[in-house]
Amino acid sequence: HLGTDLDVFDKAAVSDDYKLQLTPDEYLQSGPFAPLSNWLDTNLDKFGFYRPYQHDLGGVAPELWHISHIKQSQLLVNKLS
């Protein structure tokens, strides 16, 4: 949590009264954000981002909506080292 992370969702994919939950089900197969998730899979690295919590890391559940800027994250990690 270096201030380089964002949680993303596609507001146009749901109704105005949709209760956003940020759960894996929303981003997988038939979830409302599956198209966004697929687009992120294909394009994140083109824009300098990655998903730090794409897979279970043993303590942090997958967060498919959570993206981080690669270059800025690395700069801050290097400064903290």
| Residue-level pLDDT at 81 | 76
SS3 for 31?
coil
Dump pLDDT digits (tens) for 16-60: 999 999 999 999 999 999 999 999 999 999 999 999 888 887 777
- Tell which wins on pLDDT, 2 or 8: 8
Dig out the tokens for 34 from the structure: 């599956």
Q: 2: closest CA among 74, 56, 64? A: 74
| Count of domains forming the chain | 1
Spatial distance between the Cα atoms of 49 and 68, rounded to a whole number of angstroms: 5
| pLDDT at residue 77 in the model | 78
Which pLDDT value is given to residue 1?
61
Q: Which of 59, 62, 5, 69 is nearest to 28 (CA)?
A: 62
pLDDT at 58: 79
Contact 21, 27 (CB under 8 A): no
Domain carrying residue 16: 5-80
pTM value is 0.83
